[in-house]
Amino acid sequence: MAIKAKLQQKIPKVTLDLSGPDGNIFVVMNLANQLGHQLGYDSEKIINQMKQGNYKHAINVFESYFGDYVDMFVNSDSDLLN
């Protein structure tokens, strides 16, 4: 856990508006790749997991890996993050 705490101090938290251009799945996958490399994760594996379902599935996979580093929100009445 000490390593995770140190990484959180080095990686600034990102805000991601999924209802805007940043919500494009290719933008989200690019961010997954960048954060994955910074955190020492297997980015290719994560992106492949994201591709195994629909958009909501991809966002849930992204959140499971990077939820501590990214604040995601939607400006509409979507159930995307539920």
Average pLDDT over residues 9-17: 83
Domain assignment present for residue 46? The answer is: yes
Q: Are 50 and 61 in contact (CB under 8 A)?
A: yes
Give the global pTM. 0.80
The whole domain housing 53 covers 22-73
Domain assignment present for residue 43? The answer is: yes
pLDDT in tens, 49-69: 999 999 999 999 999 999 999
Report CA dihedral (20, 15, 53, 61) to the nearest 10 degrees: 180
d(CA 25, CA 34) in angstroms, rounded, equals 14
pLDDT recorded at residue 56: 94
Domain assignment present for residue 69? The answer is: yes
In this predicted structure, the answer to whether residue 9 has a pLDDT above a threshold of 90 is: no
Domain assignment present for residue 34? The answer is: yes
Domain assignment present for residue 40? The answer is: yes
Domain assignment present for residue 32? The answer is: yes
Domain assignment present for residue 33? The answer is: yes
Q: How many domains does the chain have?
A: 1
pLDDT recorded at residue 1: 45
Question: pLDDT band at residue 35, thresholds of 50, 70 and 90?
Answer: very high
